Homo-oligomer: A and B are copies of this chain.
Amino acid sequence: MARQLNATAASLLGFLHEGPMSGWDLLQTAQERIGGFWSLTPSQVYRELARLADDGYAEAGAPGPRARRVFALTDDGRAAFRSWLQGEPAAEQIRYPLLLTVAFGRHLPADRRAAILASHRATHEARLAEYEETQRAAPADADAFATAGLDFGIRYERAVLDWFAHLPPEVDAAGGTGGG
């Protein structure tokens, strides 16, 4: 028995500790709370929920409108979650296509490169602003565990923006060290 959970499934179980939820609820919750460092799609959520139900880790309630089913954590699910949480977390995975574009940058005209860099830089600026706004809006007694994730996001985005700001002109024709 006791299939080993993957991190995505385990996170769903984690959120179900706060009460029964539908796939949609879980998707919203996950994107809001762990979306910054763990992405998931609707398909994944529904598939994992089905498997969790199969394994007896979650129980589906009676179908409501739109065939909506609310899932509740079972005792087995609680145990599986705990056991997953005890384990050593795997190393982080970073896949950054923009850095590939830069790495092979000599095959790309300087102006195209600069345009791509500018557009991505803007995206990161927007994301940082959003994170900082969220942080500002957070109550002083906010949950320290949630806050830590947000803090990571902010530090990450700042590091990325510093990186952009310090690209040498050979790499970013429009940039240079002027930025940050």
Contacts and interface: CB of A to CB of B under 8 A. Distances in A.
Contacts of A160: 152, 155-156
A170 B97 CA distance: 36
Interface in A121-180: 123, 143-149, 151-152, 155-156, 158-160, 162-163, 166-168, 170-171
A51 interface: no
A19 to B, nearest CB: 15
A contact face: mostly helix, strand, loop, or mixed: helix
Interface stretch (A20-28, A41-49, A54-62, A86-94): A86-94
B159 A103 contact: no
**Which of A89, A96, A102, A151 has the most chain B CB within a 10 Å cutoff?**
A96
Contacts of A96: 37-38, 92-93, 152
A3 interface: no
A101 interface: yes
A87 to B, nearest CB: 9
Given A95-B93, A102-B149, A159-B159, A144 B120 contact: no
22 contacts: A7-B95, A7-B100, A11-B100, A14-B104, A14-B107, A86-B108, A89-B97, A89-B116, A90-B97, A91-B123, A99-B152, A102-B145, A103-B145, A104-B145, A106-B143, A147-B168, A148-B171, A152-B163, A155-B159, A155-B163, A156-B156, A158-B159
